[in-house]
């Protein structure tokens, strides 16, 4: 089913909601940090690429050396 959206924010909200729902179906609970990042994505303040890079940096910083 093709859904029409009137704004880019609506498209982003739809995509973010689907991603969170898919994760929950798999038994994964999104972190508060991810929820905040997705809010920034929906509002257009961050791209998915930026969120991925921040996540990689966060995990690299917490990895044992």
Convert the pLDDT of each residue in 1-60 to its tens digit: 566 778 999 999 999 999 999 999 999 999 999 999 999 999 999 999 999 999 899 888
What is the DSSP code (8-state) at residue 26? T
pLDDT at 10: 92
pLDDT of residue 43: 95
Residues 6+ apart with CB under 8 A from 21: none
CA distance 55 to 60: 9
At 2 the pLDDT is 61
What is the structure's pLDDT at 62?
79
CA distance 30 to 59: 15
- Of 7, 65, 58, nearest in space to 33 by CA: 58
Identify the pLDDT of residue 64: 80
Q: Give the Cα separation of 4 and 40 in Å (integer).
A: 22
């Amino acid at each position: 089913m093709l859904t029409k959206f009137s704004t880019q924010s609506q498209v982003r909200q739809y995509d973010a909601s689907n991603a969170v729902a898919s994760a929950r179906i798999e038994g994964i609970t999104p972190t508060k940090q991810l929820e905040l990042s997705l809010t920034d994505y929906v509002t257009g303040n961050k791209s998915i690429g930026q969120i991925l890079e921040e996540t990689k940096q966060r995990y690299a910083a917490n990895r044992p050396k």
